[in-house]
Amino acid sequence: MWFDYLVWGWIATAIITFGFLLKIKQPYGRHTSSSWGPMISNNWGWFWMELPAMLIMPWLSLSGEMQLGTVEYTLVGFWLAHYINRTLIFPLRIKTRGKKMPLAIVLSAIFFNAINGFVNGYYLGNVKTIQSEVDTWFVIGLLLFALGMQINQWADNRLIQLRKESDGYSIPIGGLYRWVSCPNYLGEIIEWVGFAIVAVSWPAASFAIWTAANLIPRALNHHDWYHTKFETYPKERKAVIPYLV
Ligand code: NDP
């Protein structure tokens, strides 16, 4: 069916993108670059990038033909909890006044979030025919999602706090920063793996794969950047997965 082809194509695109991102830095945040064309405000960029995901997945899930059960409502709840923060709260909290990001990044993220929201929402609302049960895997996935979200928000908060304390970049310390340069990305990857375990679906797995494909190369870029910028940067710290990567 066309939907299966779309999801498989989407997963293949994530794998190709991973290879591409290992070679090219995503030009926003510390790697921002005006050579990617017109620029827009960083804070507005975040809002517009994430808005399609926040709206499309819940809307398609809840307006579809399928009757939803506890598992499906939980997935919509997880999604909203994550995206309300990322779309509405995060852009108001980051201390990047005056900073810009390329419009090309915003447009590519809008495209990504629209497709990702579509495959996950359309699946729950119109494709998934059997309601999942609340079983051990549901509990494992739920705990992983909650743990990942906690790590992601804690680590983002540390960075926001650092920027409040002094302009520019400093070396983050404490908690998971003892082991990795980007615990916010580690948390985000754990979150969507947890989501995929609860959902037991290829659309949800595709999001976990995309998240790793986006964030592992970005974490490697951040890690190298920290070592170049700070001579005293801790040598034992890894980029995103403790002791491994
Ligand atoms: P970063 O870690 O690059 O930056 C987060 C914020 O903290 C930015 O405002 C940044 O400022 C600031 N900051 C970062 N490091 C420091 C430092 N050492 N000292 C002071 N301030 C610092 O994260 P991203 O912007 O890439 O991502 C933000 C969130 O979005 C993360 O939680 C991430 O997981 C999520 N995300 C998810 C994706 C997915 O595919 N699911 C894709 C991309 C992001 P500045 O902008 O000036 O660098």
Domain ranges across the chain: 2-229
Mean pLDDT of 204-226: 98
According to the model, what pLDDT value does residue 92 have? 96
Query: In this predicted structure, what is the pLDDT of residue 86?
Result: 98
Q: Check if the beta carbon of residue 132 is closer than 8 Å to that of residue 201.
A: no
For residues 93 and 160, is the Cβ–Cβ distance under 8 A?
yes
pLDDT of residue 34: 86
Whether the full predicted model's pTM is greater than 0.85, yes or no, is yes
Check if the beta carbon of residue 196 is closer than 8 Å to that of residue 205.
yes
- Ligand 1 atom nearest to CA at 171: 18
Q: Measure 182 CA to ligand 1 centroid, in angstroms.
A: 9
**CB distance 123 to ligand 1 below 6 Å:** no
Q: Measured from the CB, is residue 51 less than 6 Å from ligand 1? A: no
Q: How remote is the CA of residue 231 from the centroid of ligand 1, in Å?
A: 22
pLDDT digits (tens, 9 = 90+) for 43-55: 999 999 999 999 9
Q: How far is the CA of 219 from the centre of ligand 1 (A)?
A: 10
Sort 236 into a burial class: Cβ within 10 Å, 0-12 / 13-18 / 19+.
Answer: exposed
- Separation between Cα atoms, residue 91 and residue 110, nearest integer Å: 15
| 42, pLDDT greater than 90 | yes
Name the 3-class secondary structure at 204.
helix
As a whole number of angstroms, the distance between CA 14 and CA 119 comes to 14
Q: Encode pLDDT of 68-87 as tens digits.
A: 999 999 999 999 999 999 99
d(CA 201, CA 82): 19
Range 185-198 average pLDDT: 98
Number of Cβ atoms within 10 Å of the Cβ of 64: 18
For residue 170 and ligand 1, the question of a CB distance below 6 A is answered with yes
Confidence of residue 131 (pLDDT cuts 50, 70, 90): confident
Q: What distance in Å separates the CA atoms of residue 223 and residue 206, rounded to the nearest whole number?
A: 26
